[in-house]
Structure 1
Amino acid sequence: MFLFKMLGTAAGGGVPQWNCACRLCELSRTNPRAVPPRLQLQAIASGDGQSWYLLNASPDLRVQIEANPELQPGSRFGRRNTPIAGIVLTTADLDQVLGVLLLREFQPLTIYATRLVRKTLESNSFFRMLHRVPDQLTWVEIVPGQSFFLGDSGITCTPIPLEGSLPFYAREMNTGEKGQASLGLVLEKEGRRIAYTPALPEITDELREIYRTCDTVLVDGTFWSDAELSRTHSGTPLARSIGHVPLSGDDGTIALLKDIDFPRRVFVHINNTNPILDTGSAEYKAVLAAGWQIAHDGWQLDS
């Protein structure tokens, strides 16, 4: 058994974003059939349907747990329990780690992370809340390029080193440890092989070769165009400058991966400014015509 599910598919801030009145956020509020609301990015994986592993930890995690029974505690196991067996952190970005702090109620946790990501989080006093009782938190160091098992799930996880640095709040901690700050993941069990790469600063030949070995790839769908964010919010940076290859254009994701014959290709981590959110837009139709899926909250890997 190999189960994989998206609990949230939006970029940081979700859809609609709390402080945004752009056309897409307004449409999501007034006509959610056209632009369905989305929670912030969260994926889970399981090898048996009983124990689940979080891929990062969304700020929307509590809502996502309550909306998905497979992540909820069961009274038959006592008053305090969780089916969450571990958390894999691929980055120290706030919209991927804040959910860890929501799991602080004296619950033992196992976190898989690189040495640099662990160091970054432990330097913040907030994370001391996870050390109030003995053995509350167990760290497992992961090394880019070195495969490991997710507990006893039978799922092999291989961290893919990506270009990129620590987020703005921790920029003084950037130490030049290549591949430690940002990872993609390849998850594999029983012949199924999934690439999970929701943040891509570039698409390299090495990454393309990894994709060729996978039956499903989940890829960064943050922005449609490089200048999209700056057109919507004046003074904001270009997509590539903040670590996201846009979907469109001759040097965009769709063009760069068009020659790979994927059984299943899926966009995740979609920003509230991306026109593919609108199911009636030309951009939405272009993505589907190119053979891509656009993941929705609740999207699951079919068997």
Structure 2
Amino acid sequence: MLLRVLGSSAGGGFPQWNCNCPNCTGVRSGSLKALARTQSSIAVSADAQNWLLVNASPDILTQIRQTPQLQPARARRDTGIAAVLLMDAQIDHVTGLLMLREHAGPLPLLATKEVLSDIEDGFPLTRILSHYCGLAAQTIPSDGSRFTVEQLPGLHLEAIALSSKPPPYSPWRNAPRPGDNIGLLMQNPTSGARVFYAPGLGEITEGLLARMAQCDVVLIDGTFWTDDEMQRLGLSAKRAADMGHLAQSGAGGMIEQLDRLPTSTRKILIHINNTNPILVEDSPQRMELARHGIEVAYDGLEISF
């Protein structure tokens, strides 16, 4: 089984197009030791030819160009993307569906009923795409029960409802429902190896931590370093928790939670906001992560399991 990180940044990418925070200014000028990143997405395959695209970011066309496996060219019109799975209905995770509108037939799409309701009504992608390729939607459970993808045999998946928030456009923004945001557990049925992916996460419960402890790799929310990061930079009045993210530092933060996992578990942060100092490779915050055995995802990172 192969997992490839297509994009490792939070919404807006890095550098963000309209941001002149120290990170964005530094990466543009080349004065910081940091890599540019596209918006959060991964692809998973059992045969390295047919792929499950997990989240369709606005940067999907760039990500396809940077990932030759997603364009195998077996026919005059072709794609290695066999199906798409949505973790939530956030703009930075669903807008890329519009870029896939030339698909030869209805695009197989897996999501919870809550996510499907948001892209049917609040952000009517289902209706828009019905005038192009259309979507072949499959509702997936968010209770941790196993499911498979018809187009991708050999891929065993479990979706787990997480504590986070639906997108700002959702009528449920301030009344989150189980299924608005999920974590995805992927298992190799041959080796038994397991990977847990959760780019948006506001709280780690004891039950979720127990599931994570059974995994070989966790690829998890790295959006903000501090809860008041955006406030301190004068970029937003909202805290990380207000946006449905658990900050890395501080009491009860992501570092503290990941320290509770077995030492054999590989821990990687993804969905990193452009303001987060861990983007700077020689920053004190990056060195602190290293002391805790925590990695930072980058575009093109591959994980075999």
TM-score category (smaller protein): over 0.9
- Give the unaligned 5+ runs of structure 1: none
Please tell me whether residue 299 in structure 1 is matched to residue 296 in structure 2.
Answer: no
Q: Give 3-state SS (helix, strand or coil) of 1:147's partner.
A: strand
Deviations 1:43-98 (A, max 9, x none): 00001111001111111001100111001150xx3322211100011101100000
Cα shift at 1:35: 1.3
Q: How many residues align?
A: 298
Match of 2:253 in 1: 252
Report how far residue 250 of structure 1 moved: 2.0
Q: Following TM superposition, by how much is the alpha carbon of 1:173 offset from its aligned partner in structure 2, in angstroms?
A: 5.0
Shift of 1:32: 7.0
CA distance 1:155–1:106, shift in 2 (3 Å): closer
Determine helix, strand or coil for the equivalent of 2:169: helix
Amino acid paired to 2:195:
I
For 1:78, the equivalent position in structure 2 comes to: 75
Look up the equivalent residue of 1:40 and give its one-letter code.
Q
Q: Is 1:196 the equivalent of 2:194? A: no
Deviations 1:269-295 (A, max 9, x none): 100110011112100100011101111
In structure 2, what residue type is equivalent to 1:95? D
Aligned to 2:285: 283
- C-alpha distance in 2, partners of 1:252/1:302? 28
Aligned-partner Cα distance in 2 for 1:221–1:6? 14
User: In the alignment, which residue of structure 2 is the partner of 1:138?
Assistant: 136
Query: Contact between 2:197 and 2:220, CA under 8 Å: does it hold in 1?
Result: yes
Aligned to 1:163: 163
Match of 1:268 in 2: 270
Divergent runs of 4+, >3 A: 124-127, 173-178
Decide whether the 8 Å contact of 2:8 with 2:40 is kept in 1: yes
Q: TM-score, normalised by structure 1?
A: 0.93
Change (3 A) 1:68 1:175: same
Q: Distance in 2 between matches of 1:173 and 1:231?
A: 28
Distance 1:235 1:196, change over 3 A: closer
% same residue: 36
Q: Displacement of 1:234 after TM fit?
A: 4.3
Structure 2 unaligned runs (5+)? none
Q: Aligned pair 1:96/2:93, yes or no? A: yes
The 3-state SS of whatever aligns with 2:157 is strand
Please tell me whether the aligned partners of residues 48 and 153 of structure 1 are also in contact (alpha carbons under 8 angstroms): no
Alignment of 1:112-261 (within 5 A): 112-123=110-121, 124-132=123-131, 136-145=134-143, 146-151=145-150, 152-170=152-170, 172-173=171-172, 178-189=177-188, 190=190, 191-261=192-262
Structure 1 equivalent of residue 30 of structure 2:
31
